[in-house]
Amino acid sequence: MVTSNQTLKLELGQRSLLQRLKPIDWIWTALLLVGAFFVYSEYANLMDLYEKGILVLTAVTLLVMGFSWRALQLLTTLIALLSLFGLSRYGGDLAQAEQDFFLKFMFSSQSAIMWMSALYVMATIAYFGWLFSQIEFVGRVASSMTWGATMMGFVGLMVRWYESYLIGADVGHIPVSNLYEVFILFSIITALIYLHYEKRYETRSLGGFVLLIISAAVGFILWYAFDRNADGIQPLVPALQSYWMKIHVPANFVGYGAFALAAMVGVVYLIKNRVVARNPGGLMAKQLPELNMLDDVMYKSIALGFAFFTLATILGALWAAEAWGGYWSWDPKETWALIVWLNYAAWLHMRLTKGWRGAPMAWWSVIGLFVTLFAFLGVNMFLSGLHSYGEL
């Protein structure tokens, strides 16, 4: 018999955004504001109204992302500091890249990108090492190297941005204009999305697999730089001189990165599915994440990619309306973007309306990567059109 004497006390956590912020968040906000004002005061004369808008938008996005994922605060701050250090070593003279010790070995864009490449490859090995050994230290090294590689990748791009202005004031442009540059962007965005899931799902066991595809991208970067000598900074053709590039290209690569990640998760799903059926007690069956978690990551990643790819395609259409005289020209790149989009729309329909799950969806997400890859590279290699900026 329960008596009615129990007192009910509800203590709600501090849920409103302002209340949840810690001192570190305020420092972060202050740093970000200082940074944004610094960039504005330094470069406002080079920006048009839209670019100022993009700067504000970037700052706000970073702020919000930093609040919900504090690791980004450190990452951003380090990128800013190292990039500024790199810029200061140049002292306005591009030739310093070969002379200054720090530039030559660390922070010239070439060197930073080499560091990024090396770290990603080592991180891949470390992740697999961790997967099979389960030594916590190895896992930490793997994660740290991925963070470090991502940091160096961003530093490389920031410094490259500056280097382009050193070549000539009219040559300067954001480094997302050719295949070499966007492959770097692809690597660091994919890594960031992965790191986000690593924290959110508290597992490192996807790391090796996702970094495999990043290592492949790194392989391409190295081949492109050393075999093709295609890593030079080229001035922009008139069609690319637009603020649209600053948002269209990154949005696209969030899409590509997320789709690539989803495909690798699909691979893990299929492996897990198989090893569980064959050898449920085995190492792989134990180490790899649960199937429904994999399914969830795959869905989240495709949803994220789809959302950004939608945005990117729309931005592309708006840009085309300004540069090519029509929002849609059935140019091969446009058309393949549509095909990629339709493919994932169908994937999402099947999952959300028909409730499809499991291996077929995993296979489909792997196939999706090939469709995406064709839109990304195949079109440049095999088809010709208006979009022939990054040629192989």
Q: Return residues touching other proteins (CB under 8 A).
A: 1-12, 15, 168, 170-171, 232, 234-235, 237-239, 241-242, 292-293, 296, 303-304, 306-307, 310-311, 314, 317-318, 321-328, 330, 332, 335-336, 338-339, 342-343, 345-346, 349-350, 352-354, 379, 383-384
- Closest CB to ligand HEM among residues 14, 353: 353
User: Which among 353, 341, 327 is positioned nearest to 252, based on CA atoms?
Assistant: 341
- Closest CB to other proteins among residues 221, 302: 302
* Pairwise CA distance, residues 189 & 150, whole Å: 8
Residues with Cβ within 8 Å of residue 104, at least 6 apart in sequence: 97, 98, 111
Interface with ligand HEM by CB under 6 A: which range of 7-15, 225-233, 266-274, 346-354?
A: 346-354
- Closest CB to other proteins among residues 11, 227: 11
Taking the complex as a whole, how short is the minimal distance between the CB of residue 267 and ligand HEM, in angstroms? 24
Taking the complex as a whole, how short is the minimal distance between the CB of residue 230 and other proteins, in angstroms? 12
Residue 17 binds which of other proteins, ligand HEM, none (CB < 5-8 A, kind-dependent): none
**Using CB under 6 A, which of 13, 41, 353, 354 touches ligand HEM?**
353
- Closest CB to ligand HEM among residues 127, 308: 308
Binding to ligand HEM by residue 349, rule CB under 6 A?
Answer: yes
Interface with ligand HEM by CB under 6 A: which range of 7-15, 175-183, 312-320, 344-352?
A: 344-352
Residue 124 token pair: 């891949």
Binding to ligand HEM by residue 314, rule CB under 6 A?
Answer: no
* Pairwise CA distance, residues 317 & 377, whole Å: 20
Binding to ligand HEM by residue 345, rule CB under 6 A?
Answer: yes
Binding to ligand HEM by residue 19, rule CB under 6 A?
Answer: no
**Using CB under 6 A, which of 21, 212, 348, 377 touches ligand HEM?**
348
Taking the complex as a whole, how short is the minimal distance between the CB of residue 348 and ligand HEM, in angstroms? 4
Rounded to the nearest 10 degrees, the angle between the axes of helix 207-226 and helix 244-278 is: 130
Residue 30 binds which of other proteins, ligand HEM, none (CB < 5-8 A, kind-dependent): none
- Closest CB to ligand HEM among residues 237, 346: 346
Taking the complex as a whole, how short is the minimal distance between the CB of residue 18 and other proteins, in angstroms? 15
- Closest CB to ligand HEM among residues 54, 348: 348
**Using CB under 6 A, which of 352, 358, 359, 370 touches ligand HEM?**
352
- Closest CB to ligand HEM among residues 56, 352: 352
Interface with ligand HEM by CB under 6 A: which range of 84-92, 100-108, 257-265, 343-351?
A: 343-351
Residue 139 binds which of other proteins, ligand HEM, none (CB < 5-8 A, kind-dependent): none
- Closest CB to other proteins among residues 78, 357: 357
Taking the complex as a whole, how short is the minimal distance between the CB of residue 353 and ligand HEM, in angstroms? 4
Question: What residue has token string 């169908």?
Answer: 346
HEC readout, the chain: CCCCCCCCCCCCCCCCHHHHCCHHHHHHHHHHHHHHHHHHHHHHHHCCHHHHHHHHHHHHHHHHHHHHCCHHHHHHHHHHHHHHHHHHHHCCCCCHHHHCHHHHHHHCHHHHHHHHHHHHHHHHHHHHHHHHHCCHHHHHHHHHHHHHHHHHHHHHHHHHHHHHHHHCCCCCCCCCCCHHHHHHHHHHHHHHHHHHHHHHCCCCCCHHHHHHHHHHHHHHHHHHHHCCCCCCCCCCCHHHCCCHHHHHHHHHHHHHHHHHHHHHHHHHHHHHHHHHHHCCCCHHHHHCCCHHHHHHHHHHHHHHHHHHHHHHHHHHHHHHHHHCCCCCCCCHHHHHHHHHHHHHHHHHHHHHHCCCCCHHHHHHHHHHHHHHHHHHHHHHHHCCCCCCCCCC
- Closest CB to ligand HEM among residues 339, 383: 339
Task: Please classify residue 139 by burial: count the beta carbons closer than 10 Å to its beta carbon, then call 0-12 exposed, 13-18 middle and 19+ buried.
Answer: buried
Interface residue list for ligand HEM (CB under 6 A): 345, 348-349, 352-353
